[in-house]
């Protein structure tokens, strides 16, 4: 059955005179009759009793109207909803932990506040997991902090970040040092698949084999708790994750000699992704507000 057939059916429920309905909607009586006959044929039921020049709902027609009218109206609303200027719909995103914890929350809040008819379903995963989710099409957009060479993924530069070596031991922050001078410390690193971990270890070259990883941490708060409590610990972490602690003098940056720990943030999405108005608007919003 078609929406047009249903529309004419409900119209006849309100105005059983085919000739009058024909004049009201500008459609011939034969076209209306053919549409109703087509609907009845598809249902294998007569919905109207033909009484004189009127089509009067019978008991089967009344049941059909009662059960289908709410759904028909909902479909009509949905059809007009997307024609409105305001954004609507659901978008699914995932971001790596640094971005997901320190950048994305305020962006999502501001965007939803401007567009109350949309929903953003967000998740926090490491970069490797996000790349897989984009490949599988389970999310619309990912924001990662590592390189991605997958052939079916579009990768676009979003922003830059700086990684820092930090500790709660102020004495080792007073002058630049070589990385191997810090190997006696107890190192806290992120888990396998983390963009932070990958960049840090890659920057060490062959020395990455010598770094004594004491504990792997999956959460920033876990890492900070250990740093605060044990001055002998040290980690490599995003400037976004420790900006408050550095400002309050709770943690201290350790300057390095001959090692640069800069990285890039990327927006990624599947090449086959259909870019809806919502997708394009949220993408543009992120580009405009992350810098």
Condensed to tens digits (0 to 9), the pLDDT of residues 92-103 reads 999 998 889 888
Q: Beta strand 153-167 with 262-270: parallel, antiparallel or unpaired?
A: antiparallel
Q: Do domains 89-158+264-289 and 163-262 have the same CATH topology?
A: yes
The pLDDT of residue 81 = 59
The pLDDT of residue 83 = 57
> Above 80 in pLDDT, residue 289?
yes
Q: What average pLDDT does range 151-180 have in this prediction?
A: 93
State the alpha helices, DSSP H only, in 141-259: 195-204, 220-229, 239-247
Give residue for tokens 């004594």: 212
| CATH no., domain 3-81 | 1.10.10.10
CATH architecture of 163-262: 3-Layer(aba) Sandwich (3.40)
Q: Which sequence spans correspond to the domains of the chain? A: 3-81, 89-158+264-289, 163-262
> Above 70 in pLDDT, residue 80?
no
Q: Beta strand 153-167 with 252-253: parallel, antiparallel or unpaired?
A: antiparallel
Higher per-residue confidence, 32 vs 231? 231
pTM reported for the whole predicted model: 0.62
Distance, in Å, from the CA atom of 12 to the CA atom of 29, rounded to the nearest integer, reads 12
Q: What average pLDDT does range 162-170 have in this prediction?
A: 94
What is the pLDDT of the chain when averaged over all its residues? 88
> Above 90 in pLDDT, residue 78?
no
> Above 70 in pLDDT, residue 84?
no
Give residue for tokens 């027609």: 61
* Packing angle of the helix pair 220-229, 239-247 (nearest 10 deg): 40
Q: Does 3.40.190.10 match the CATH number of domain 89-158+264-289? A: yes
Q: What average pLDDT does range 72-87 have in this prediction?
A: 67
> Above 90 in pLDDT, residue 143?
yes
Distance, in Å, from the CA atom of 107 to the CA atom of 120, rounded to the nearest integer, reads 11
Distance, in Å, from the CA atom of 211 to the CA atom of 186, rounded to the nearest integer, reads 9
């Amino acid at each position: 059955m078609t929406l047009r057939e249903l529309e004419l059916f409900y119209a006849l429920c309100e105005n059983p005179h085919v000739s009058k309905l024909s004049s009201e909607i500008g459609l011939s009586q034969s076209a209306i009759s053919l549409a109703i006959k087509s609907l009845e044929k598809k249902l294998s039921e007569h919905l109207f009793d033909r009484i004189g020049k009127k089509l009067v709902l019978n008991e089967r027609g009344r049941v059909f109207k009662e059960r289908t009218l709410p759904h028909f109206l909902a479909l009509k609303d949905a059809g007009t909803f997307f024609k409105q200027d305001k954004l609507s719909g659901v978008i699914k995103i995932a971001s790596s932990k640094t971005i997901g914890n320190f950048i994305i929350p305020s962006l999502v809040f501001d965007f939803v506040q401007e567009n109350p008819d949309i929903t953003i379903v967000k998740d926090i995963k490491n970069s490797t997991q996000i790349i897989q989710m984009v490949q599988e099409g389970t999310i619309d957009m990912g924001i990662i902090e590592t390189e991605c060479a997958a052939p079916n993924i579009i990768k676009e530069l979003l922003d830059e970040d700086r990684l820092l070596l930090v500790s709660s031991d102020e004495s080792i922050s007073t002058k630049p040092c070589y990385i191997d001078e810090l190997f006696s410390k107890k190192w806290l690193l992120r888990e396998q698949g983390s963009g932070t971990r990958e960049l840090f270890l890659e920057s060490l070259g062959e020395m990455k084999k010598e770094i004594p990883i004491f504990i792997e941490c999956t959460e920033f708060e876990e890492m900070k708790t250990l740093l605060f409590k044990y001055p002998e610990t040290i980690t490599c972490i995003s400037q976004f994750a420790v900006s408050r602690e550095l400002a309050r003098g709770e943690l201290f940056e350790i300057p390095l000699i001959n090692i640069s720990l800069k990285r890039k943030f990327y927006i990624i999405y599947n090449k086959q992704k259909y870019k809806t108005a919502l997708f394009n608007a949220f993408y543009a919003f992120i580009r405009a507000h992350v810098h």
